[in-house]
């Protein structure tokens, strides 16, 4: 019996610890991916150095490159010898050296200003349109899930024809800003329409949620009374439950949500936790 | 010759009353109630997954566009008893945000700086999609992606991009439509990349560029051997092919015609029909990862689609080498 208990403990400890071990299985599917990335980076760095410096590579960069290139060779060897730990070290050393080189190159080769793509002027119009199209498709898919007959069909057709037109304008370098504004506004109105049209369904789902929840709280409050918990708090909770039910009957879902937040605090004070079953 | 030092295990004078040298099993006997310990371990083990599952992303997929904007899609398990859920958005410049709760409801969201307050009421899983402009910066021709991720994530880099530096080890790398997709672990990650018209082949190349003539000779001999083998094997294959043909016909008869499937399931969505067609054309079974590659969908979206088809009774999911194998159901008519 004792041995069995010890065995169970060991299994449980292992079961608890094992998920954390999985995170360390880097490149587990195919360790050669490390070499693939490192070799690509090496060749790319050589290309960049040839383009910028030709045969006159500055000494500091040459030292860094040699360090990185040697690490690539070592990585290849480590993988051949199935030495995964060494391979990881080699990979990080390689990518660190090449990262330093690429940053030196990009700082010295041009008058450089660090740019974040959060500045609108730096965003590519074609990419922006791709993203908008993806957004429209997501909304269309939500709309279709809730209605057998596509309620917003005309709006979506219009959105897709606008996207097509803007693409044409981009191809011939024509100004498409007006159409983009129109598309964005159309997409916003579609989103609002979807939200409004499903709000009734959504309200019913929230009401169902509350109904199950409040029944269980009622039961828990009766038990709390029997256990002699704080009477004032229990009365307060009862009042809040009544208020939520009243608000739900008037379809004032948002107000009910606010009162529910208050109720949760009171329940916590009483020492009640409720889970829907 | 007598031994001066006796091993403790064989020292009979240290009985159960010994104080200094107590055996392991005596500890359990005298200090801890074993059943109690087992029970508490079971409780801890049972609670651990629940604690770690709430508020942690189930999936986190990132796609970087060529202009540096990143599309994020994630699915998060949340406590259904929360009114709202505060999500860290990784930045403040957000576009095209969509949050979907249980029952495919569009959830209300308030964005405050870097976080989104989502009205989750009753939802236990939420799907979030948005575009963010804060994760990539550009210096000269060098692009740098940086993220401090709460969980493992996949990152699809733009076409023609070449990684020239990274700060941590990738878990995996795949090529999807000529784009590198990395799987990375949680924590801080920085990746530097250039765009190059002279992009390097994705195949694993040998770093030793040695004598080509030796390779040519070996190649020549290999070709001759292979040709001979092919000629010998081809004759045998004629018989095998006819058997395979029979099997394929058998499969198609067994699984139902694609048009019949659509007739039996007229409510299937158009995009789901495309998935079914693709599975059908692949002899009725494909890996879920292959579907993601083919249709360029994030993991979460494809997972939902596959689950939807499973609910419809069109497909069944099997585990194969830790992956989901999606198969067309053979007895679909029984379900209608």
Model pLDDT for residues A82-135, shown as the tens digit of each residue: 888 899 999 999 999 999 999 998 887 555 455 555 555 556 888 889 999 999
Mean pLDDT for the stretch of residues B217-221? 63
The domain limits of chain A are: 28-108, 123-198, 201-270
User: Which of B92, B113, B136, B169 is the best residue to mutate to test the A interface, defined by the most A CB atoms within 10 Å of its own CB?
Assistant: B169
Model pLDDT, residue B70: 94
User: Which of A1, A131, A255 is the best residue to mutate to test the B interface, defined by the most B CB atoms within 10 Å of its own CB?
Assistant: A131
Nearest CA in chain A to B141: A106
Residues B225 and B264 both lie in one domain: no
Q: Can you tell me the distance from the alpha carbon of B108 to that of A195, in angstroms, rounded to the nearest whole number?
A: 9
Q: Can you tell me the distance from the alpha carbon of B327 to that of B318, in angstroms, rounded to the nearest whole number?
A: 8
Six token digits for residue B210: 């040695």
Residues B218 and B188 both lie in one domain: no
Q: Is residue B134 part of a domain?
A: yes
A13, A32, A112: residue with CB nearest B204: A32
**Domain that includes residue B321, residue range:** 256-335
Residues B96 and B224 both lie in one domain: no
Q: Is residue B36 part of a domain?
A: yes
Residues B217 and B276 both lie in one domain: no
Collapsing DSSP to helix, strand or coil, B321 comes out as coil
Residues B109 and B144 both lie in one domain: yes
Residues B171 and B94 both lie in one domain: yes
pLDDT tens digits, B60-90? 999 999 989 999 999 888 877 776 788 888 9
Q: Which residues contact A5 (CB under 8 A, 6 or more apart)?
A: B28, B34, B35, B37, B38
Q: Indicate yes or no: CB of B67 within 8 angstroms of CB of A9.
A: no
Smallest CA–CA separation between A10 and chain B, in Å?
Answer: 10
Q: Is A111 part of the contact surface with chain B (CB cutoff 8 Å)?
A: no
Query: Rg of chain B's alpha carbons, rounded to an integer?
Result: 29
B:28-57 residues touching chain A, CB 8 A cutoff: 28, 34-35, 37-38, 41-42, 44-45, 48
Q: Is residue B220 part of a domain?
A: yes
Q: Can you tell me the distance from the alpha carbon of A2 to that of A254, in angstroms, rounded to the nearest whole number?
A: 57
Q: Is residue B328 part of a domain?
A: yes
- Indicate the residue among B30, B50, B70 that finishes a domain: B50
Q: Are strands B187-195 and A114-116 parallel, antiparallel or unpaired?
A: unpaired
DSSP B20-82: S---HHHHHHHT--HHHHHHHHHHHHHHHHHHHHTTEEEEEEEEE-TTS-EEEEEEEE--TT-
Q: Is A183 part of the contact surface with chain B (CB cutoff 8 Å)?
A: no
Residues B323 and B273 both lie in one domain: yes
Residues B191 and B295 both lie in one domain: no
Total domains present in chain B: 4
B67, B122, B194: residue with CB nearest A44: B194
Q: What is the largest CA-CA distance in chain A?
A: 89
Assign residue B281 the CATH number of its domain: 1.10.10.10
Q: Is residue B167 part of a domain?
A: yes
Six token digits for residue B214: 């030796």
Q: Can you tell me the distance from the alpha carbon of B35 to that of B33, in angstroms, rounded to the nearest whole number?
A: 6
Q: Can you tell me the distance from the alpha carbon of A172 to that of A166, in angstroms, rounded to the nearest whole number?
A: 10
> Is the model's pTM score more than 0.80?
no
Q: Indicate yes or no: CB of A123 within 8 angstroms of CB of B122.
A: no
B106, B121, B152: residue with CB nearest A257: B121
Residues B158 and B79 both lie in one domain: yes
pLDDT along chain A (277 residues), means of 10: 64 54 49 88 91 87 94 92 90 94 80 54 78 91 71 85 93 88 92 79 79 86 90 93 91 84 87 65
Q: Is residue B201 part of a domain?
A: no
Residues B80 and B175 both lie in one domain: yes
Residues B40 and B122 both lie in one domain: no
Q: Indicate yes or no: CB of A131 within 8 angstroms of CB of B186.
A: no
Model pLDDT, residue A114: 55
Q: Is residue B251 part of a domain?
A: no
Q: Indicate yes or no: CB of A32 within 8 angstroms of CB of B66.
A: no
Residues B113 and B95 both lie in one domain: yes
Smallest CA–CA separation between B222 and chain A, in Å?
Answer: 23
């Amino acid at each position: 019996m004792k041995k069995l208990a010890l065995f169970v403990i060991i299994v449980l400890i292992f079961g608890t610890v094992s998920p954390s071990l999985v995170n360390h299985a880097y490149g587990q599917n195919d360790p050669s991916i490390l070499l693939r990335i490192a070799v690509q980076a090496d060749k790319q760095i050589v290309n960049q150095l040839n383009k910028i410096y030709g045969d006159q590579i500055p000494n500091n960069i040459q030292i860094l490159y040699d360090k990185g290139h040697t690490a690539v060779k070592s990585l290849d060897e480590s993988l051949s010898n199935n030495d995964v730990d060494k391979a990881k070290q080699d990979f990080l050393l390689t990518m660190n050296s090449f990262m330093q080189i690429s940053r030196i190159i990009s700082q010295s080769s041009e008058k450089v200003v660090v740019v974040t793509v959060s500045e609108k002027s730096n965003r590519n119009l074609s990419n922006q349109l791709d993203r908008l199209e993806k957004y429209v498709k997501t909304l269309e898919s939500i709309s279709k899930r809730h209605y057998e007959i596509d309620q917003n069909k005309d709006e979506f057709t219009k959105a897709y024809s606008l996207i097509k037109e803007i693409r044409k304008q981009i191809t011939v370098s024509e100004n498409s800003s007006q159409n983009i504004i129109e598309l964005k506004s159309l997409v916003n109105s579609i989103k609002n329409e979807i939200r409004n049209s499903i709000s009734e369904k959504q309200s019913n789902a929230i009401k169902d949620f509350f109904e199950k929840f409040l029944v269980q709280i009622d039961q828990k409050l009766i038990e709390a009374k029997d256990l002699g918990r704080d009477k004032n708090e229990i009365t307060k909770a009862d009042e809040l439950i009544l208020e939520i039910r009243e608000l739900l009957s008037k379809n004032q879902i948002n107000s009910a949500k606010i009162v529910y937040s208050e109720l949760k605090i009171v329940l916590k004070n009483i020492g009640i936790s409720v889970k829907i079953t | 010759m007598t031994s001066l030092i006796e091993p403790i295990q064989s020292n009979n004078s240290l009985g159960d009353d010994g104080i200094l040298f107590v055996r392991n099993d005596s500890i359990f006997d005298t200090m801890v109630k074993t059943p109690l310990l087992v029970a508490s371990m079971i409780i801890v083990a049972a609670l651990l997954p629940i604690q770690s599952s709430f508020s942690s992303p189930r999936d986190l997929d990132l796609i970087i566009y060529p202009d540096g904007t990143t599309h994020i899609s994630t699915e998060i398990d949340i406590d259904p008893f929360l009114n709202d859920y505060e999500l860290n958005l990784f930045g403040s410049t957000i576009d095209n945000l969509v949050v979907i709760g249980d029952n495919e409801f569009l959830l209300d969201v308030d964005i405050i700086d870097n976080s989104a307050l989502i009205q989750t009421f009753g939802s236990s899983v939420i799907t979030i999609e948005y575009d963010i402009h804060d994760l990539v910066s550009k210096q000269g021709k060098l692009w740098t992606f940086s993220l401090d991720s709460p969980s493992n994530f996949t990152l699809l880099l733009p076409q023609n991009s070449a990684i020239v530096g990274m700060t941590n080890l990738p878990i995996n790398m795949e090529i999807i439509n000529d784009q590198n997709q990395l799987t990375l672990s949680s924590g801080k990650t920085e990746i530097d990349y250039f765009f190059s018209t002279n992009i390097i082949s994705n195949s694993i190349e040998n770093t030793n560029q040695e004598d080509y003539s030796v390779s040519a000779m070996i190649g020549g001999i290999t070709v001759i051997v292979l040709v001979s083998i092919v000629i010998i094997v081809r004759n045998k294959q004629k018989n095998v092919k006819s058997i395979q043909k029979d099997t394929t016909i058998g499969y198609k008869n067994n699984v139902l015609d694609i048009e019949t499937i659509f007739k039996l399931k007229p409510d299937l969505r158009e995009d789901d029909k495309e998935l079914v067609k693709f599975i059908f054309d692949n002899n009725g079974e494909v890996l879920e990862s292959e579907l993601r590659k083919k249709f360029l969908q994030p993991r979460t979206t494809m997972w939902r689609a596959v689950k939807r088809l499973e609910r419809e009774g069109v497909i069944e999911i099997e585990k194969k080498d830790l992956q989901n194998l999606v198969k067309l159901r053979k007895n679909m008519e029984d379900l209608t």
